[in-house]
């Protein structure tokens, strides 16, 4: 459904978390995510190092660790990033970043 879409394991944790916050069990939210066929990538040392460097970003972007790991994955894969987060969308990463919502 989403072609070559990927998500980091760190970002995947946000999906069932949002479900739980909306009264949906974490398991149901996770199973619903699986329907989309999006590949889940593990976090590795290079992602951690890039995320640490991204922590230098301006405070007004309010980039969480999950945000920084998401950016790091896209940078390593040299791919476009799709986000609903304004802070991520405002970060200059040398890759295309598109904000929806």
Three-state secondary structure readout of 1-30:
CCCCCEEEHHHHCHHHHHHHHCCCCHHHHH
pLDDT (tens digit, 9 = 90+) per residue, 22-81? 999 999 999 988 899 999 999 999 999 999 999 999 999 999 999 999 999 999 999 999
Give phi and psi for 90, each to the nearest 5.
Answer: -85, -5
Look at residue 15 in the predicted model and tell me its pLDDT: 85
Which helix (H) or strand (E) segment holds residue 98: the answer is strand 97-99
Look at residue 48 in the predicted model and tell me its pLDDT: 97
Give phi and psi for 59, each to the nearest 5.
Answer: -55, -35
Q: Give the global pTM.
A: 0.86
Look at residue 9 in the predicted model and tell me its pLDDT: 92
Helix axes 14-21, 26-34, angle to 10 degrees: 130
Q: For residues 82 and 100, give the distance between their C-alpha atoms in angstroms, rounded to a whole number.
A: 7
Domains and CATH numbers, the chain: 6-99 (3.40.50.1010)
Residue 19 above 70 pLDDT? yes
Residue 2 above 80 pLDDT? no
Q: For residues 66 and 25, give the distance between their C-alpha atoms in angstroms, rounded to a whole number.
A: 21
């Amino acid at each position: 459904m989403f072609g070559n879409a990927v998500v980091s394991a760190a970002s995947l944790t946000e999906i069932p978390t949002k479900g739980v916050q909306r009264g949906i069990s974490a398991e149901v939210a996770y199973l619903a995510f699986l329907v989309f066929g999006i590949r889940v990538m593990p976090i590795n040392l290079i992602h951690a190092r890039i995320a640490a460097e991204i922590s230098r970003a301006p405070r007004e972007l309010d980039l969480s660790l999950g945000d920084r790991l998401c950016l790091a994955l896209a940078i390593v894969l040299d791919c476009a990033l799709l986000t609903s987060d304004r802070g991520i969308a405002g970060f200059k990463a040398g890759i295309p970043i598109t904000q929806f919502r």
